[in-house]
Amino acid sequence: MKNQPKPIISHPTDGRSYKIGAKENTEVIFKADGEEVANKYAITEWWMEAGGPGPAPHVHDNNNELIYVLQGPVAVLVGEKWETLEKGGLVVIPAGTQHTFKNDSDQRVGILNIFMDAAYEAMMPQIMKMYADK
């Protein structure tokens, strides 16, 4: 069928990787996105070294987002409230809600990010510029 996601099997080392930030201490790995999933969702891993930044606080007007902590602690902003989550923590971010995340710790941390109803990788040039401007 046209415009249907394709089956994807992704091994731990699979994905398209981007190093971002002034020190390139944040890595984004695209596991599924774009045409391969009919632009219905994107699944990415974000790995931030000690002090690694996340994106500037932002809002997605039409897209819901999930953040699952793979390795913590990760500081997450939802609305006006910062919360620190450990491994296994989950954040559900409805469309229209301000949010971001960052690594305030002295260790490497990671999240699994699921972005729904849009292609996400196409935004990487804009995201990389946002990091460069920090």
pLDDT in tens, the chain (134 residues): 567 778 899 999 999 999 988 788 899 999 998 888 888 889 999 999 998 888 889 998 888 999 999 999 999 999 999 999 999 999 999 999 999 999 999 999 999 999 987 666 666 677 767 666 65
Residue 63 in domain: yes
Residue 70 in domain: yes
Domain with 31 in it: what CATH number? 2.60.120.10
What is the pTM (predicted TM-score) of this model? 0.85
Considering only CA atoms, which of 133, 134, 123, 131 is closest in space to residue 60? 123
Residue 48 in domain: yes
Q: What's the confidence (pLDDT) of residue 82?
A: 97
Q: What's the confidence (pLDDT) of residue 109?
A: 97
Q: What's the confidence (pLDDT) of residue 120?
A: 64
Number of domains the chain is built from: 1
Residue 78 in domain: yes
Residue 26 in domain: yes
Q: What is the pLDDT of residues 61-73, one digit of tens each?
A: 888 999 999 999 9
Residue 4 in domain: no
Which two tokens mark 70?
């793979």
Residue 41 in domain: yes
What is the separation, in whole angstroms, between the first and last Cα of the chain? Answer: 43
How many residues are given for the chain? 134
What residues make up the domain containing 80? Answer: 16-126
Considering only CA atoms, which of 64, 68, 56 is closest in space to residue 96? 64
Q: What's the confidence (pLDDT) of residue 36?
A: 86
DSSP letter for each residue of 53-118: --PPSB--SS--EEEEEEES-EEEEETTEEEEE-TT-EEEE-TT--EEEE--SSS-EEEEEEEESS
134 CB-side CA count, 13 A: 18
Residue 104 in domain: yes
